[in-house]
Structure 1
Amino acid sequence: MYRVWNFLANYSLLLIIGAIIALLWANVTPDSYHHFVEFVIWDHAPIGHLHDGHRTLTLHYLVNDCLMALFFAIAAKEVWEAVILENGSLRGKKAATPLFATLGGMLGPITVYLGIAAVLGSETYSAVANGWAIPTATDIAFSYLVGRLVFGAGHPAVRFLLLLAIADDAAGLIILAVFYPSGELAPVWLLFSFGAAALVFILFNWLPRKLDTGKQDRPNSTWIRAKLSFWPYAIAGAMSWYGFMQSGIHPALGLLPVVPAIPHADRAFGFFAEAEEHLHDLLNVIEHALKHPVEVVLFFFGLLNAGVEFSSMGAATWLVLAGLLIGKPLGIFIFGYIAARPLKLGIPEGMRIIDLVAVGCVAAIGFTVSLFVASVAFDAGPVQDAAKMGALFSFAAAAISILVGRLLRVEKIEG
């Protein structure tokens, strides 16, 4: 049983299983499915959707707005390490071309999405325009797995893809915060969030290390770690989350200010690196402790968000798909080529320029983050359902990537 669970968790299959169950359920008995999604856990709660002047905590809100904060915190941890650490993957010249390609991988989908929407007429454009960010997303986990199938685990294009996906995640977090507020903006509450993060950093990270200066046994830091563990950061995280909820910025991003405050290693082995399991800094310990719980959260995220009826397919479905399947590969190839050739930033040794096309196809798997953006970009209804269907269908990029890899004669490098 443990082996089965480990396989499901390592390959993020719980999310897919949840999405498949949701699709079947919503198309067989839609009323019972929607009743399940909006199940009220706590009426007149201190947190939740505003309903008739009071907050209602539903199952959907618990997963999307509360528990998904753990998923975005893990993504933020990887982005933070990639940017801040001396050997971080998003530092220096080695990251220049992937970052340039990331920009293309966002502008390409936006251009295709809004361009086709404009051609379809002003009425369609007005209905779907707010979903422009949906096809900019890249699902890191599934793109990584498909990338290994296309290129082999040892191919430099896989690392290029991961750099691109991490940068894409960072940009996506900014887009969610800036362009998709969850309510009326009250930015003063962000002072509460960042204040909680600053306070926990000073009291439980910086001050103990300062007091331990010149002491090899580090008594203060050791006592904090042994006696208090992650609890100060959990409390600060809850406070930060509440501040984001009150500020109007989507609360799923509420843990982001606290992530940099947690003690972390001075090195990172890269996203999905098994070697990081042997790092014992608090940030890595927390990440690995959250791995399996977050997989369960993703199961429920798929279950509560992917339940759309096939009859709901519409303009938004095809616009999201066009943005991902056409805009992503084109944008990544064009901007990657400009960075590598005219700007002479180069690409990793062992990778061909034409491989950028295959990388772009793999990066077109939006799925998790595309589903999330669709759920906040549109109100519940036919347009949101149609957009979600496009995010689900982006899995077609996996088959397209394998086919493109063979047509381009990609040489797989294992190990």
Structure 2
Amino acid sequence: MYRVWDFVSTYSLLLIGGALLALVWANVSPDTYHHVVDFVLIEDFFIGHAHEVNGEIHRTLTLHYLVNDVLMALFFAIAAKEVWEAIILEEGSLRGKKAATPLIATLGGMVGPVAVYLGIAAVLGVFEQVHQGWAIPTATDIAFSYLVGRMVFGAGHPAIRFLLLLAIADDAGGLLILAIFYPSGELAPEWLLLSFGAAAAVFVLANWLPLKLDRGRELQPVSVWVRKTLSFWPYLIAGCISWYGFQEAGIHPALGLLPIVPTIPHADRGFGMFAEAEEHLHDLLNSMEHALKVPVEVILLFFGLLNAGVEFSAISEPTWLVLAGLLIGKPAGILLMGWVGARVLGFGLPEGMTLRDVFVLGCVAAIGFTVALFVASVAFDPGPVQDAAKMGALFSFFAAAVALAAGRLLGVQKVDY
């Protein structure tokens, strides 16, 4: 349990603290809160919010942009690292037939919320005002869903591994949605050549070339020198270049480190983000993740503080649409597509798991929070609609109570080690 609690405390507790502080602050003194959020750090900088002045593009670096668009790139890099290892490693959790049903269920867990969100929006006659927020309820907060899953199923239940597979795949889908459907400005895809060029250059110069020069040399002196002397610096420089390429390309720059993550040397296997053995992997990729623990913790504190400040008077249709998408669409979609994968397509379920467990697991996965809050901040311009959608993301914590109640009503048997 220590490893689970350590992860949740690292990536979630300060986030919750920042979000709660923001809620109180925004409802007690909204003017001062928004003044801090929009505080200008540097005018006419090379990074920041773009605006046109006399036909020329100028950028202003605000505190909100610094956190959401620059520093959150480190959080998404960690998510990308987990997805990358799950796909590329021989023992990766997203490889082979064992991942088929969870991956199919993930599709349902993304399509179901979108269908519920847009369907209810059309019935209520607010489709035009809120349709941009369709991706908000597709999110799953991996840390909190895992913790609640342990409470519902117990540590040894096969549904826990199913949930982790689904959450990792959900992260991958969320990253693609952000990149494709939520550009940060006018698209200029030629700038992506800079990002992928930086990734290719750092892979060749700091990874492939040293290994080639060390071929046939038992002590691998060049690779050791690069690792010990240059360490993470080549990847940091490449990451900054890639981030800038994403900003100029009009793709959300918080995703700017994604092309660099696969170029970093990594272990031949991964034990999973909640395994104690993961702490003992000292390849460069895992070492960098461990070094980012405290910085990302602080970044998430400020992310919650600068994004969750919503006045309760803002609660309106988008709040209920996001909640309906998460609390209705996600469990229903996961159950339906889980059934298709297990029964119709014949991939089956893990031994000891039933479709009732899949439904309860879908309720657990309805906790959106972190990524849902992030998507709400990019889906809508600042204003009442964005605030209402953010409130729906915050209220998704009620999914924990729904999951606990569903587990009890459906007779889910907890399985401890």
Q: Distance in 1 between matches of 2:315 and 2:123?
A: 19
Shift of 1:412: 1.2
Please tell me whether the aligned partners of residues 11 and 296 of structure 2 are also in contact (alpha carbons under 8 angstroms).
no
The letter of the residue matching 1:38 is D
The letter of the residue matching 2:124 is L
Please tell me whether the aligned partners of residues 11 and 145 of structure 1 are also in contact (alpha carbons under 8 angstroms).
no
Aligned partner of residue 248 in structure 2, secondary structure: helix
Aligned partner of residue 355 in structure 2, secondary structure: coil
Q: Does 1:233 align with 2:201?
A: no
Q: Does 1:17 align with 2:21?
A: no
Of residues 302, 305, 323, the one that matches 1:303 is 305
Of residues 86, 109, 115, the one that matches 1:111 is 115
Structure 2: tracts of 5 or more residues without a match:
none
Please list, as runs of the form range in 1=range in 2, the aligned pairs for 1:192-341 lying within 5 A after superposition: 192-341=194-343
Shift of 1:293: 1.2
Cα deviations by residue, 1:154-185 (Å, 9 ceiling, x for unpaired): 21111100100000010110000000000000
Please list, as runs of the form range in 1=range in 2, the aligned pairs for 1:7-406 lying within 5 A after superposition: 9-10=9-10, 12-53=12-53, 54-121=58-125, 124-406=126-408
> Cα gap change, 1:259/1:7 in structure 2, threshold over 3 Å: closer, same or farther?
closer
Please tell me whether the aligned partners of residues 247 and 253 of structure 2 are also in contact (alpha carbons under 8 angstroms).
yes
The letter of the residue matching 1:60 is H
The letter of the residue matching 1:256 is L
Shift of 1:271: 2.5
Please tell me whether the aligned partners of residues 8 and 14 of structure 1 are also in contact (alpha carbons under 8 angstroms).
no
Q: Distance in 2 between matches of 1:363 and 1:370?
A: 12
Aligned partner of residue 375 in structure 1, secondary structure: helix
Shift of 1:295: 1.3
Shift of 1:7: 8.6
Q: TM-score, with normalisation over the residues of structure 1?
A: 0.97
Cα deviations by residue, 1:39-74 (Å, 9 ceiling, x for unpaired): 111111111012453211111000000000000000
Q: Distance in 2 between matches of 1:6 and 1:351?
A: 28
Shift of 1:211: 1.2
Please tell me whether the aligned partners of residues 148 and 364 of structure 2 are also in contact (alpha carbons under 8 angstroms).
yes
Cα deviations by residue, 1:88-108 (Å, 9 ceiling, x for unpaired): 000000000000000000010
Shift of 1:153: 1.6
> Cα gap change, 1:225/1:308 in structure 2, threshold over 3 Å: closer, same or farther?
same
> Cα gap change, 1:387/1:200 in structure 2, threshold over 3 Å: closer, same or farther?
same
Please tell me whether the aligned partners of residues 138 and 367 of structure 1 are also in contact (alpha carbons under 8 angstroms).
yes
Cα deviations by residue, 1:115-158 (Å, 9 ceiling, x for unpaired): 0011111xx10000010000001011111111111111221111
Q: Distance in 1 between matches of 2:406 and 2:159?
A: 14
The letter of the residue matching 1:73 is A
Size of the aligned set, in residue pairs, is 409
Cα deviations by residue, 1:12-54 (Å, 9 ceiling, x for unpaired): 2101010000000000000000001011111111110124532
Aligned partner of residue 42 in structure 2, secondary structure: strand
Aligned partner of residue 44 in structure 1, secondary structure: strand
Please tell me whether the aligned partners of residues 241 and 255 of structure 1 are also in contact (alpha carbons under 8 angstroms).
yes
Q: Distance in 2 between matches of 1:72 and 1:16?
A: 18
Q: Distance in 1 between matches of 2:302 and 2:10?
A: 17
Please tell me whether the aligned partners of residues 48 and 56 of structure 1 are also in contact (alpha carbons under 8 angstroms).
yes
> Cα gap change, 1:403/1:323 in structure 2, threshold over 3 Å: closer, same or farther?
same
Structure 1: tracts of 5 or more residues without a match:
none
> Cα gap change, 1:228/1:181 in structure 2, threshold over 3 Å: closer, same or farther?
same
Aligned partner of residue 12 in structure 1, secondary structure: helix
Shift of 1:11: 6.5
CA RMSD between the two structures: 1.2
Q: TM-score, with normalisation over the residues of structure 2?
A: 0.96
Please tell me whether the aligned partners of residues 162 and 271 of structure 1 are also in contact (alpha carbons under 8 angstroms).
no
Please tell me whether the aligned partners of residues 7 and 143 of structure 2 are also in contact (alpha carbons under 8 angstroms).
no
